[in-house]
Amino acid sequence: MIRFSIVGLMDMQKCYDHLVEILHPNGLGCPKCDRPVAQSKVHRRDRAPVLYYRCHCGCIYNAFAGTMWKHTRHSCSVIVRILQGFAQGIPTLHLARELGIDRKHLLERRHEIQALAAAACDRNPLPDQVVEVDEMYQNAGEKGILHPDPEDPPRRRANQARGHGTWDMDRPPILGIMGRESGRVQLIVKHNSARADLEPTVLDVTQPGCTINTDEWGAYNHLSEQQRRHVTVCHAPSRREWARDDDGDGIREVHTNTSEGFWTGLRNFLRPFRGVSKVYLQQYIAIHEWAHNLKEVTLGFLRILCGVTQMAS
């Protein structure tokens, strides 16, 4: 992709104002004594529009004080672009080149921000009376993790294992629970695809009495004993083969209507990252979950990404 940065064309004051709105739900103020900014004097203007204030209490601060961006040297438009890039799944190398910043530093920032997004995912039961449950298997090794044993280097080629993968074979299942009525999804990385791994999570995120559509995978066979109505999508014998993952690419040409398109979307989201470590897989798919459920970025989501816990009263 050709490099074409527009951060130099973005309105710096508007980016600053937006960041203040994100980072300070109750208004900018002194991080030490909480006095509002109106009771501070401007101390320095050389980094405008980021102003340094001196509070009555003697504290000198700016809008980034006490936030995850406190030590940043990035301009406000670069920070806004970073948030946009992470929320939209732009690969780190691509963003780093566009912005002329260090890739490793940006990757650390991405992991910090995505972890916040993952921790804030809604894990309350979906409100739906009809849900689809399915798993996808994602090749995910230990990219980016220092390997302690040089005699056992991490695999370099894609994992060729077929069918139901596991965490230990670097092909963990991603459990997807999708509400037919709400359109909401929850995505959870599991270690294995056995009943003991999948069923408790399915029960946690669905309502008693709801109908659960799954394929014929045996891990779901006991849902009907757990206050759920279990419907198995039975393929006609002639289509049985077609529904399997015989080519080993992880796409099981599926069974349930919603999940079919959804997994394609998730694969398309993950592909540009060219191999996500299984250790970070949950936080990458959390970004996709948020995007699917929100459709459009909100102030609340941007506050989650920036670790802002204090909410406007």
| Nearest residue to 194 (alpha-carbon basis) of 135, 142, 138 | 135
- In the complex, minimum distance from the CB of residue 46 to Zn ion, in angstroms, rounded to a whole number: 22
- In the complex, minimum distance from the CB of residue 54 to Zn ion, in angstroms, rounded to a whole number: 9
The verdict on 30 binding Zn ion (CB under 5 A) reads yes
The verdict on 297 binding Zn ion (CB under 5 A) reads no
| Nearest residue to 220 (alpha-carbon basis) of 138, 131, 285, 126 | 131
The verdict on 33 binding Zn ion (CB under 5 A) reads yes
How far is residue 63's CA from residue 128's CA, in Å, rounded to a whole number? Answer: 42
For residues 48 to 77, the per-residue mask of contacts with Zn ion, x marking binding by CB under 5 A and - elsewhere, is -------x-x-x------------------
Tokens of 26: 């109750």
Closer to Zn ion at the Cβ: 63 or 198?
63
Q: Is the dihedral of CA 45, 47, 48, 52 positive or negative?
A: negative
Q: Count the site residues for Zn ion by CB under 5 A.
A: 7
Q: Is the dihedral of CA 32, 38, 41, 45 positive or negative?
A: positive
The window from 22-30, 174-182, 276-284, 295-303 that contacts Zn ion (CB under 5 A) reads: 22-30
Closer to Zn ion at the Cβ: 32 or 103?
32
| Element of type H or E holding 302 | helix 299-305
305 phi and psi angles, rounded to 5 deg: -60, -30
The window from 34-42, 70-78, 93-101, 289-297 that contacts Zn ion (CB under 5 A) reads: 34-42
- In the complex, minimum distance from the CB of residue 21 to Zn ion, in angstroms, rounded to a whole number: 21
Closer to Zn ion at the Cβ: 32 or 230?
32
Other Cβ atoms within 10 Å of 73 Cβ, number:
7
Other Cβ atoms within 10 Å of 125 Cβ, number:
17
Cα–Cα–Cα angle for 92, 94, 100, rounded to 5 degrees: 95
The window from 29-37, 88-96, 143-151, 214-222 that contacts Zn ion (CB under 5 A) reads: 29-37
- In the complex, minimum distance from the CB of residue 33 to Zn ion, in angstroms, rounded to a whole number: 3
How far is residue 255's CA from residue 242's CA, in Å, rounded to a whole number? Answer: 10
Contact (CB, 8 A) for 23 and 14: no
The window from 2-10, 31-39, 223-231, 293-301 that contacts Zn ion (CB under 5 A) reads: 31-39
How far is residue 286's CA from residue 121's CA, in Å, rounded to a whole number? Answer: 7
> Which of 21, 32, 89, 161 touches Zn ion by CB under 5 A?
32
The verdict on 130 binding Zn ion (CB under 5 A) reads no
Site for Zn ion in 160-199 (CB under 5 A): none
- In the complex, minimum distance from the CB of residue 26 to Zn ion, in angstroms, rounded to a whole number: 15
Q: Which residues bind Zn ion (CB under 5 A)?
A: 30, 32-33, 35, 55, 57, 59
